């Protein structure tokens, strides 16, 4: 099978100079080949988006909202098909893919409210007989560059708000699981989105670099690993673009001595191993405050033993494979290095039973205890089913560990002490905080974003900050002539 770009509302008909393999991670087989865009192919997509901009920015708010509502209906009706596409290329189990799509739907529903969201302000008689008002206008062509781990949800964090605000889009999804983006673009076309408003180009760094340097691209929303996010931010802003670049993570779950340890162990296992740990909000570090360490580690170990790992299409599987063989090998190398560095390997995922084809990119859930902050398993974002437990003596030590970490995407505290939780939310230097909630992904009417090395730029993704990112404000000061007008005054305008 061949997967190609969608430009100007149609599948691309050219011949790609380069292509990439798309795997079925549960079998390890190449399932398709995806075209990699050249700079010229990106130029073609940007030109289509630019040509569509004038008409689309002129579409009324009612028309734009109506397309969003139509898309919402189609998306909701066909979400099972999309979940199957996500599972086939990403590997996450079907129920998890369905969860991703449900959260994506929330972002679409938010954008359906665009007429209300894009209201400006109006001040009557700011000066005598002078009115002042603000208008939120679209930017033009915007680029969206997304990672492999949420091939449906992350594009839909940005695309609905971007187009509802009147922009046109060039979307460059991950080359590892490219089909979800095409499915979404086809549904938008069916929903009545004019040709050229949403274009999809596939590929790698070549396509990304062209988006970052193209003078007709006014803004870029990026999600991916921290080194690439930093590069995208620096290059994009260096080229005069507005950029929001969300990066990687190392999310800590702090467990205080008064916590319900069964609840905490359930949460650690769900948030650590869901989607095989390939979530930017996955819990990768449990910070156990004395004396809970031994009991908590025992409870997590017992729960891991029961996890059903296998082909995400099979009934009952709770955790699927890693996305590629290369990535699986990299994650396995961390299991080796953790042992070499002196962490205690409590559960070795390499021996976990697998309900799937032996060629799949498997690694079972792995648990390390007595991890130190100087070990690679702690300092690096592993992005796989490897959970580390760090033991500390006090609440203050736990906060220090989290705040010293360069990442600041998500964190959670497990406790029954409201005062401690309240202090934590105040003191912790992380953008998204859960109180007895391990994966605190904000609902669509808030905004998503980490701090420190987990986000470069000023705007978080989706929600009100998304609308802010995809619009620029114009302020109009107006006076309509009436008989009192007249006279020359060279002084700076003052309000009277």
Who contacts 484 (Cβ-Cβ below 8 Å, separation ≥6)? Answer: 129
Binding range to ligand NAD, per CB under 6 A, among 68-76, 221-229, 369-377, 392-400: 221-229
d(C-alpha 270, C-alpha 450), whole Å: 21
Q: What's the min distance (Å) between Cβ of 145 and ligand NAD?
A: 5
In the complex with ligand NAD, which residue's Cβ is closer, 147 or 385?
Answer: 147
Q: What's the min distance (Å) between Cβ of 224 and ligand NAD?
A: 3
Which residue's CB comes closest to ligand NAD? 224
Exactly one of 28, 248, 349, 466 binds ligand NAD (CB under 6 A); that residue is 248
d(C-alpha 430, C-alpha 423), whole Å: 13
Contact 277, 388 (CB under 8 A): no
Exactly one of 9, 247, 312, 438 binds ligand NAD (CB under 6 A); that residue is 247
Four-point Cα dihedral 23, 177, 449, 447, nearest 10 = -140
Q: What's the min distance (Å) between Cβ of 223 and ligand NAD?
A: 5
Exactly one of 324, 405, 409, 415 binds ligand NAD (CB under 6 A); that residue is 409
Work out whether 110 is an interface residue with ligand NAD (CB under 6 A).
no
Size of the site for ligand NAD (CB under 6 A): 27
d(C-alpha 407, C-alpha 250), whole Å: 6
Work out whether 175 is an interface residue with ligand NAD (CB under 6 A).
yes
Work out whether 208 is an interface residue with ligand NAD (CB under 6 A).
yes
Work out whether 350 is an interface residue with ligand NAD (CB under 6 A).
no
**Looking at 338-467, which runs of residues are DSSP E strands?**
344-347, 354-355, 366-369, 386-392, 407-408, 410-414, 432-435, 451-452, 455-456
In the complex with ligand NAD, which residue's Cβ is closer, 278 or 311?
Answer: 278
Active site residues: 280
Q: What's the min distance (Å) between Cβ of 275 and ligand NAD?
A: 11
The residues in 134-153 that bind ligand NAD, with binding defined as CB under 6 A, are: 145-150
Work out whether 384 is an interface residue with ligand NAD (CB under 6 A).
no
The residue written with tokens 């990768």 in the block is 284
Closest to 167 (Cα-Cα) out of 486, 434, 475, 471: 471
Closest to 67 (Cα-Cα) out of 133, 27, 112, 123: 112
- For strands 10-11 and 6-7, give the pairing: antiparallel
Exactly one of 46, 117, 249, 286 binds ligand NAD (CB under 6 A); that residue is 249
- The residues with which 87 forms a beta bridge, in sequence order, are none
Work out whether 22 is an interface residue with ligand NAD (CB under 6 A).
no
Contact 47, 39 (CB under 8 A): no
Residues of the shown chain interacting with ligand NAD in the complex, contacts defined by CB under 6 A: 145-150, 154, 172, 174-175, 204-205, 208, 223-225, 228, 246-249, 280, 381, 383, 409, 450, 454
């Amino acid at each position: 099978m061949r997967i190609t770009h969608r430009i100007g509302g149609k599948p691309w008909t050219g011949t790609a100079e380069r292509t990439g393999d798309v795997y079925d991670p549960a079998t390890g087989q190449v399932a398709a080949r995806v075209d990699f865009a050249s700079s010229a192919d990106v130029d073609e997509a940007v030109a289509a988006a630019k040509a569509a901009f004038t008409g689309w920015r002129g579409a009324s708010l009612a028309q734009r909202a109506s397309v969003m509502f139509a898309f919402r209906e189609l998306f909701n009706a066909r979400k099972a098909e999309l979940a199957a596409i996500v599972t086939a290329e990403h590997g996450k189990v079907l129920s998890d893919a369905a969860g991703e799509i449900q959260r994506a739907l929330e972002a679409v529903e938010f954008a359906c409210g665009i007429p209300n969201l894009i209201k400006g302000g109006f001040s009557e008689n700011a000066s005598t007989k002078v009115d002042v008002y603000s208008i939120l206008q679209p930017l033009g062509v915007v680029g969206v560059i997304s990672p492999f781990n949420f091939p449906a949800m992350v594009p839909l964090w940005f695309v609905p708000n971007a187009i509802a605000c009147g922009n046109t889009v060039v979307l460059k999804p991950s080359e590892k699981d490219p089909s979800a983006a095409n499915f979404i673009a086809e549904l938008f076309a069916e929903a009545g989105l004019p040709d050229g408003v949403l274009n999809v180009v596939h590929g790698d760094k070549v396509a990304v670099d062209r988006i970052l340097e193209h003078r007709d691209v006014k803004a870029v929303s990026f999600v991916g690993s921290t080194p690439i996010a930093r590069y995208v931010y620096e290059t994009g802003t260096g080229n005069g673009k507005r950029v929001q670049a969300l990066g990687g993570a190392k999310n800590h779950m702090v467990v205080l001595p008064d916590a319900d340890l069964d609840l905490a162990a359930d949460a650690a296992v769900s948030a650590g191993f869901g989607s095989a740990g390939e979530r930017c909000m996955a819990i990768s570090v449990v910070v156990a405050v004395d004396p809970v360490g031994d009991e908590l580690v025992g409870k997590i170990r017992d729960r891991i033993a029961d996890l059903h790992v296998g082909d995400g299409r099979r009934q009952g599987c709770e955790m699927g494979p890693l996305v590629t063989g290369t990535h699986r090998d990299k994650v396995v190398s961390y299991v080796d290095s953790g042992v070499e560095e002196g962490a205690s390997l409590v559960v070795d995922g390499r021996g976990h039973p697998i309900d799937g084809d032996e060629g799949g990119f498997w690694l079972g859930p792995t648990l390390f205890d007595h991890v130190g902050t100087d070990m690679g398993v702690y300092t690096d974002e592993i992005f796989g089913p490897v959970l580390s437990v760090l033991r500390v003596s006090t609440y203050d030590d736990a906060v220090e560990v989290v705040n010293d970490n360069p990442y600041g995407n998500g964190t959670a505290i497990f406790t029954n002490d409201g005062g401690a939780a309240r202090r934590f939310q105040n003191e912790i230097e992380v953008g998204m905080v859960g109180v007895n909630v391990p994966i605190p992904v904000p609902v669509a009417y808030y905004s998503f974003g980490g701090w420190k090395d987990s986000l470069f730029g000023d705007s978080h993704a989706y929600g009100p900050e998304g609308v802010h990112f995809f619009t620029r404000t114009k302020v109009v000061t107006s006076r309509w002539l009436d008989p009192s007008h007249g006279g020359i005054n060279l002084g700076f305008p003052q309000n009277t």
